[in-house]
Structure 1
Amino acid sequence: MKKILTIFAAVLLTSTAFSQTKKIPSAVLKTLEGQSVDAATLGGDGKIRVVSFWATWCSPCKKELDAISEIYEDWQHDYDVELVAISTDDARSAAKVPGVVNAKGWPYRILLDSNKELSRAANIQSVPYTFLLDKEGNIVFEHIGYAPGDEEELEEQIAKLAKK
């Protein structure tokens, strides 16, 4: 009987752990205009959202955002998705962010995590780092790094969510 109870408890704990949803933690971010935004408000509004962590010094980050920008208009039309690009540049190098964004012509919402508050809370160790949020704001896909073609995998994940 003791063995059965132990197995039942283990199954119950495992199923509870897997049923918990993961959301973006609360942390203060800044817009390019200096307004505060709570990261926790980035999801749960009925919109599929890609959250991409990047930095001005990170070549793979810029390549990823460039690749997505080429197909982003299609994503918006086909899936009603929004991409939020969160710069992890520190306070000194954050001044470079608007110049990079303008030079690249990225059509994304840009936020700054200069104090690394969100990066620490979400345990983001390196960039590029991408979250995909479902319409309820749950993190349903995570990806670290960038190689050409990764944007296609991301689009497959977005398409699955859009069908739900």
Structure 2
Amino acid sequence: MTRPLRPLLLALCLWVAGTSAILSQESTPASSQTLPSVKLRDIAGTTINTSELSTTDAPVIISFWATWCKPCILELSAYKDLYEKWEKEYGAKVVAVSIDDARNAQKVPGFIKGRAWPFQVLLDVNQDFKRALNVNNVPHTFLVKNGTIVWQHSAYSAGDEDDLEEELKKLTGKGS
């Protein structure tokens, strides 16, 4: 290969790698995966089976997050602002799943209280639920109906909550 083509080939490879990384963060329809059965605890210490989070037609938004993740906090704060509307208009509920390890999980209840998040919070300290759903990065959000994942999104940018609301409208056939 001639020397002038090497930089061009390198640039092309970097562009392809960058494009695929960006595309991997976009919203995608789910492949009809059902919620796995994993036992987690909520912040009060009650054991919850994840397969029972969505057993009706009411949409459930499951958001994986961590206390150290700034985009996660921005996303869940945006959900907080829309939660009452989503609950009223679409019958939706939000479940925030913390992936903080056992040491940091002790901080979660105070962290939640300080932000007044109104939704259910589960602790996935061993990251079993995260692994079962193949979550690689946080934040990662799933939209679930009748135990089946119908949509998912990785990462967060301001306005992503509007995309989620559009999915809620489609899923429920309702809209404002």
Which TM-score tier does this pair reach, normalised by the shorter chain? 0.7 to 0.9
1:54: Cα distance to partner?
A: 0.4
**What is the number of residues matched between the two proteins?**
144
The aligned counterpart of 2:107 is 96
User: Is 1:23 the counterpart of 2:41 in the alignment?
Assistant: no
The aligned counterpart of 1:131 is 142
User: Is 1:121 the counterpart of 2:132 in the alignment?
Assistant: yes
**SS of match in other structure, 1:157:** helix
Cα distance in 2, alignment partners of residues 138 and 116 from structure 1: 20
1:138: Cα distance to partner?
A: 1.0
Superposed, 1:27-106 pairs within 5 Å as 27-106=38-117
- Structure 1 unaligned regions, length at least 5: 1-19
Q: Spell out, residue by residue over 1:92-126, the C-alpha distance to the aligned partner (whole angstroms, 9 max, x if none).
A: 00011011100111000111101111111111111
Retained in 1: the 8 A contact 2:63–2:141? Answer: yes
Q: Spell out, residue by residue over 1:26-85, the C-alpha distance to the aligned partner (whole angstroms, 9 max, x if none).
A: 111101111211111111223110000000000000000001111111111111100000
TM-score by length of 1: 0.84
Match of 1:145 among 155, 160, 168: 155
Cα distance in 1, alignment partners of residues 112 and 73 from structure 2: 10
Cα distance in 2, alignment partners of residues 94 and 86 from structure 1: 11
Cα distance in 2, alignment partners of residues 120 and 155 from structure 1: 26
Cα distance in 2, alignment partners of residues 34 and 100 from structure 1: 16
Cα distance in 1, alignment partners of residues 164 and 49 from structure 2: 25
**SS of match in other structure, 2:106:** helix
4+ long deviations beyond 4 Å: none
The aligned counterpart of 1:6 is none
Identity of aligned residues (%): 42
